[in-house]
Amino acid sequence: MKTQQQHNILKAKDKRKMDLIEAALYAAGRPLDVDTLSSLINEKSKETVKSLAEILITRYKEVNGGLELLRLHDGRYVMQLRPDLVQGVMKLVTKKLLTRGPLKTLSFIAIKQPVTQAYVVKVRGNLAYAHIKILRERGLISEEKLGRTKILKTTPVFSDYFSLSSDSRTMKQQLQKMFEQQKSKDKKLSVKPSDLKPIIKS
């Protein structure tokens, strides 16, 4: 039978692990799976990790602050801005990641993927080379050599960051819907990539 002291020590360890899970999700700025969290907090039991994460989810719901912690349909966990607050801070958050030029090139790649670098440059101009380099360094796109050119595609980091489906077909539909909504608001702008809504970014 555990003594009260042993029980308190166990609770302290759990608190420490919960703090680490919370810190990891905040620092990552993207969804993390149970295996990753287990490794980070040095906890072999996945059920324990899930239990601690669920406690955190409940706490965030009770506080009802600017951030929320969620379990996604695929079992990953994410800390993000509350949806009703995204619009108010979206410009600040997006500017930390990309400026307008690279963001427009990223939107083009996402819609047309898989797409050759040559075609992206043809449509977006020679500055696209610099944009592509930035996007690759940010981990938002991947490239695969094809003869003298390269095939460009978005990565899971992109879909996670902008809270989009990882399935390319569904993602394109989501993006098209965003752009169509923007067109109805302002007919002068056919595409406004800044309407992509990112999840949390510190």
Render pLDDT for 55-95 as a digit per residue (tens, 0 to 9). Answer: 999 999 999 998 999 888 788 898 888 877 766 766 665 55
CATH number corresponding to 4-81 = 1.10.10.10
Furthest C-alpha separation in the chain: 73
Nearest CA among 202, 200, 201 for reference residue 68: 200
pLDDT tens-digit readout, 143-196: 999 888 899 999 888 887 777 777 778 888 888 887 776 666 655 444 455 555
Q: Which residues pair with 146 in a beta bridge?
A: 149
Task: Report yes or no: 104 and 196 within 8 Å, Cβ to Cβ.
Answer: no
Question: Topology of 87-195 in CATH?
Answer: Arc Repressor Mutant, subunit A (1.10.10)
Identity of the residue numbered 34: V
Say which residue the tokens 């978005």 belong to. Answer: 154
Q: How far is it, in rounded angstroms, from Cα 84 to Cα 155?
A: 26
Task: Report yes or no: 141 and 109 within 8 Å, Cβ to Cβ.
Answer: yes
**Token digits of residue 112:** 């047309």
Buried b (16+ CB within 10 A) or exposed e, 11-41: eeeeeebbebbbebbeebbbbbebeebbebb
- The domain locations on the chain are 4-81, 87-195
Q: For residues 98 and 154, which has the higher predicted lDDT (pLDDT)? A: 154
Whether 87-195 and 4-81 are alike in CATH topology: the answer is yes
| Residues of the chain above pLDDT 70, percent | 79
- 125 dihedral zone (left: phi>0; alpha: psi -120 to 50; beta): left
Nearest CA among 80, 82, 120, 119 for reference residue 104: 120
Say which residue the tokens 């166990």 belong to. Answer: 10
Of 24-38, 104-118, 119-133, 174-188, give the lowest mean pLDDT range: 174-188
Instruction: Determine which helix (DSSP H) or strand (DSSP E) holds 77, and give its type and residue range.
Output: strand 77-81
Nearest CA among 81, 17, 86 for reference residue 54: 17
pTM of the model: 0.53
Helices and strands (H and E) in the chain: how many: 9, 5
Nearest CA among 147, 166, 169 for reference residue 157: 166
pLDDT tens-digit readout, 17-42: 999 999 999 888 778 889 999 999 99
Identity of the residue numbered 136: R
User: What is the SS3 assignment for 144?
Assistant: strand
